[in-house]
Structure 1
Amino acid sequence: MIATPLPEPRDVPAVLGRLEIRIVREVPLHPATLPPGVSEADLNAFEARSHVTLPPDLRALYRWHDGGDQLGLSFLSLIHLDCGREMEAALAADCMTDLDEIIVSHPPGALWPMYALRDWLPCLHEGSGNHVALDLKPEAAGRVGQVITTGLDEDRRFVLVPEVHTFLRECLRRLNGFQIEAWQVRFQEIGGRAPEGYGVLADLFLSFGAPPAHTDTGWYWR
């Protein structure tokens, strides 16, 4: 008997619920390491002290879990999101304009070619100062809330997807081809091929949307 496919999840809570089911089923020890979500009061307090308005999808993500390793990279807790934004603000205030000229936006005109911007919220990190971030102040060709790459080694910055919802839906799709590495889920490309390394973060999210088929950086971390 062929199982009836589940309907496509319509909103972020539905996507997160499906992710939770898959992770619990496939990596049963992993959920015990994940912190519970934050409260509405915590999110409101973050917005008040940071003077930002978080997109509803990002609020839903933090109500699900406050950080952890369930999204391919390390998902920053709300308090570390606060620290990350302060670091971006400090770098921006430090007049790092001499580094702005090496920053390139993909696609062109979607995000500001700046080394640091206080309106980038670094939500995911790979441990070496590079992040998948939420862009709250895009350039003319971008969208508020687009998911981008940024960081110390990311001279070329990519828009991965136009919003958090699309990013999470793509993560859910890729759970059809996942790898278990101890306590962590790593996502594979559609078709089952897993990235063996990367030169820029966009290499880990090939075919998510804006990144090219291969970023061809010429060097890779292993």
Structure 2
Amino acid sequence: MLARLDAWVAREVPLHHATLRPGVTDAALDAFEVRQGVTLPPALRALYRWHDGGDLFGLKFLSLEHLEFQRVAWAELAADRMTDLDEVVVSHPPGAIRLLYATGDWLPFLHDGGGNHVALDLHPGPTGRPGQVITTGRDEEHRFVLAPDLDTFLREYLRRLESGRVTVRRLSGFHDETWEVRLQEPGGRAPDGYVVLADLFPAFGAAPERMDTRPH
């Protein structure tokens, strides 16, 4: 599956493919688990053995080092018990994601550059599943389960790419070589902008089928 994803990115957005760093070793992943006291799901280990970050999935794919940095930061925020921030969090579907602003139980692997992430949730809410893929972050008051696990998330993303349900376009601006990869809605639309990260993954899990087109 990752080989097929690699081939698609190399063919359709070679400049993004060039940003993908070499994968990390099993020894590095083992050391991460020891330092952080967690067991990484097999699919996440496979993802980081494949590449250690770059431009992927229309967002920034975090390196293992930056994943660890963000997890530690969330754990520290959780230790401060900032319960007033918890009060604004909403889970989609209800009960699947714990209503916490931050926790070390999330492993972020994608980010938008503005404090928002797609992450694996190791300790879900009562109706969720360990290892589910969720949206979270500073601007993500409404948080969505995108897939029950990383393997399902990757397979669905690849299915959209290979079936042509994606828009690849050159962005105007100072840099002529800037490109955008955006999944289309079921009806074929891929509008500019987004409000929440779930808008970038239409009809994934609990994500809405139609994007909100207001600027983020």
TM-score, normalized by length of structure 2? 0.89
Aligned mates of 1:188, 1:104 — CA distance in 2:
24
2:78 pairs with 86, 89, 92, which one? 92
> What 5-or-longer segments of structure 2 have no aligned partner?
171-176
2:195 pairs with 178, 195, 199, which one? 199
Change (3 A) 1:30 1:152: closer
Matched, 1:53 2:39: yes
Give 2:32's aligned amino acid.
F
Partner in structure 2 of residue 188 of structure 1: 183
- Asked if the contact 1:105/1:113 (under 8 Å) is kept, the reply is yes
Aligned mates of 2:103, 2:211 — CA distance in 1:
23
1:179 pairs with 124, 144, 168, which one? 168
- Where 2:108 maps in the other structure, the secondary structure is strand
Aligned mates of 1:17, 1:148 — CA distance in 2:
24
- Asked if the contact 1:38/1:66 (under 8 Å) is kept, the reply is yes
- Asked if the contact 1:27/1:180 (under 8 Å) is kept, the reply is no
- Asked if the contact 1:195/1:203 (under 8 Å) is kept, the reply is no
1:39 pairs with 5, 25, 44, which one? 25
The Cα RMSD (Å) is: 1.7
TM-score, normalized by length of structure 1? 0.87
- Where 1:102 maps in the other structure, the secondary structure is coil
Q: Percent identity?
A: 61
Change (3 A) 1:29 1:152: closer
- Where 2:6 maps in the other structure, the secondary structure is helix
Aligned mates of 1:148, 1:184 — CA distance in 2:
25
Per-residue displacement from partner, 1:130-163 (whole Å, max 9, x unpaired)?
1011100001100011000100111111101111
- Asked if the contact 2:133/2:146 (under 8 Å) is kept, the reply is yes
- Asked if the contact 1:19/1:172 (under 8 Å) is kept, the reply is yes
Post-superposition offset of 1:101: 1.2
- Asked if the contact 2:118/2:134 (under 8 Å) is kept, the reply is yes
Q: Within 5 Å, which residues of 2 pair with 1:100-179?
A: 100-175=86-161, 176=164, 177-179=166-168
- Asked if the contact 2:147/2:153 (under 8 Å) is kept, the reply is yes
Partner in structure 2 of residue 7 of structure 1: none
